Structure 1
């Protein structure tokens, strides 16, 4: 039976190197989506994680752009100032506009904080993905045999609850008790992600970066369908724009974040999860990730 390190190494070998920031994120998102599509009745956390990882990918595109050597060279060149700079950026100088964006972003907008977001995405995958692979190949024994002390409170309990629900579903496919056990198990995985894995990353973010990350925390489960617009969850919209801007409420706060997850994210996700059937817009969205 492979150990946790072997599972992690096997999954890591499927990914591009960390230096390929955007492509690696796409691969992580695709892996989450494939696990959800393989067992949509069990792997609810993986489905949510696919959407969350894709959202992180939008920020990582900008982060990767900041590292482009050509843009770094452009940012060191002398730029027009004031009104002239604004007009040039608006009236047909795309190279200057990108360079100007890079200057503000790279020099003033929290490169270290963008890097924390990148590391957080990788950390979540490293910390939780192995257990999904182990469960798929070896069942609950593959998870139980490899969980450390830090995994027991949430992740191990979560997979045990999922496994108990799976066994009940095998006997009665309509069991409400089974579905609730699976739901509770996946929420425990989410708790593990948010408290044990992600919180240390958020703790390292700068005060200004915490505001930026809070405004950027939005999950869109609508899958591009106008009828599903209610399936969007914005932290700033939930917590209040003034409260978010002033730092009174922050996505980096465990209590603020979990309140948002419980009251807005989970209901939006569960609507999308229920809509995922072969050939549906949700199923196609996962398949395209």
Structure 2
């Protein structure tokens, strides 16, 4: 099926469905058409677009869209992971991480799958809220097109915004994060490949700026693929670090996210420890024509 045919089918589906309309706008933001097969290079480029979209959304309302800021840093780390896997696959050096060649390919694929799965599930919600407020999400929820957990999280965020209660805003954003980790990433990325995630757990650092910690540093022998352990790491270590950074070093965060938005070095933000291995200039800006879609 052609790219144009797929796009027409998606557009037709969206005509009478508010959620589908927002999803279509989100897809256009990253030049994605469901049902289309993409090459490795296109998936890496899509990661760059996803990272930039999250960064742009956070910068719109940094005191409200805290999930998006953390997601931008995480997506950038995912992009570095994909570059690393491509390097290991091409050089056949996967054994350095304890991976067989087919496992290197699996990790690369799962990074791309997870990156897209989270974006397609959550970004349209941010677009809808940014444009139409809680009323727009309520309309979608009452049509049976928004998950109950996500709806409750957005209610917290909106109440916190209206009452200037940052604790409520952070709690709501944490609710979105919990849902994405448990209901989206766990079945899509982790459940089928737990032994592989165990092998690479020590190599994957927190994406938060200055937070040089892996899940195995947090808890010896931990498996990144295990939801309960991963959430413990996120909730007790990563989230508090992100909250302090966003609140106390806001200028630094905004400067780094602007780098992701307009283009910059792919390894300028700590994550997977291969900082100077693959060179510069991997991120590209979104074309301005896509920003209003």
Q: Bin the TM-score by the shorter chain.
A: 0.7 to 0.9
Aligned: 1:184 with 2:184 = no
1:33–1:141 distance in 2 versus 1, CA, 3 Å: same
Match of 1:162 in 2: 157
TM-score by length of 1: 0.73
Match of 1:121 in 2: 115
1:271 to 244, 247, 252: 244
Aligned: 1:24 with 2:46 = yes
Summarize deviations over 1:98-157 as a string: whole Å, max 9, x none. Answer: x34379867253412321221011000000000000001110121122247684342111
How many positions carry a matched residue from both structures? 235
- Give every structure 1 segment of 4 or more consecutive aligned residues whose post-TM-superposition deviation is greater than 6 Å: 102-106
Aligned: 1:45 with 2:16 = no
Match of 2:198 in 1: 211
Q: Distance in 2 between matches of 1:63 and 1:16?
A: 23
SS across alignment from 2:170:
helix
Summarize deviations over 1:253-282 as a string: whole Å, max 9, x none. Answer: 1110111111111111011111344xx222
1:134–1:2 distance in 2 versus 1, CA, 3 Å: farther
Match of 1:239 in 2: 219
Aligned: 1:138 with 2:132 = yes
- Give yes or no for contact 1:21–1:60 (8 Å, CA) kept in 2: no
Match of 1:33 in 2: 55
Match of 2:185 in 1: 198
- Give yes or no for contact 1:22–1:64 (8 Å, CA) kept in 2: no
Q: Distance in 1 between matches of 2:153 and 2:74?
A: 19
SS across alignment from 1:13:
helix
Structure 2: 5+ residue stretches without partners: 1-15, 33-37, 261-293
Cα RMSD between the aligned structures?
2.4
SS across alignment from 1:218:
coil
Structure 1: 5+ residue stretches without partners: 72-98, 170-177, 223-228, 244-248
Aligned: 1:7 with 2:22 = yes
Return the offset for 1:65: 4.9
Q: Higher Cα Rg: structure 1 or 2?
A: 1
TM-score by length of 2: 0.73
